[in-house]
Amino acid sequence: MECAKYDDKICYQGKNCIQIKDEIVNLYSKKEYQKLAKVASEIEAKYYMKLTRLGELIRFCQNMNFKHLGIAFCIGLSRKVQVFEKLLTKYFKVSSVCCKICGIGKERFDLAKITENRTEAMCNPIGQTKILNEEKTDLNIIFGLCIGHDILFTEHSYAPVTTFGVKDRVLAHNPICAIYSGYYQEGNLL
């Protein structure tokens, strides 16, 4: 598949361009996927261009009847996550877990350090999921985890996972800006 290369997306008009449609329809027939798809579609239809991502997240969780949310966050975004958590606690029970949970030194697994001659704790997305799994959260939210750590977190989470904030230290945590920049479009990515 190379959908991004084509301007005309016939699927948007309801036309099938591949042979797996029946298989996919069967997957969406499962009860747990039906509700997620239905609520996501309702949020899109009712609040299209009206709510921020935060507003959509709150409405989605309310419509899914989620009561307990988990936040897995980067220590570098602690102040921002305090505001985020405070807003969410108006509507839900919230558990939050910092990426450095357990304080495991990077040398334990021979991981690269930012500064060689100091103690650095590794990021611990598996530890974050263990805690949130034990707390039986209904939905887990990634807030600024590093690339790779977000993948490990998603892989180990028992609850569904969504992303609210993405780590990008250079672009103020707004990575999509890179594709708007002429400098980056010329291939100067690294």
Instruction: Encode pLDDT of 131-175 as tens digits.
Output: 999 999 999 999 999 999 999 999 999 999 999 998 877 777 777
Domain contains 136: yes
Domain contains 170: yes
Residue 118 maps to which CATH number? Answer: 3.40.50
CB 87 within 8 A of CB 96: no
Could you read off the pLDDT of 79-109 as tens digits, one per residue? 999 999 999 999 999 999 999 999 999 999 9
Total count of domains within the chain: 1
Domain contains 134: yes
Domain contains 77: yes
Domain contains 34: no
Instruction: Return the residue matching tokens 């016939």.
Output: 10
Range of the domain at 149: 67-185
Instruction: Tell me how far apart the alpha carbons of residues 3 and 158 are, in angstroms, rounded to a whole number.
Output: 31
Domain contains 31: no
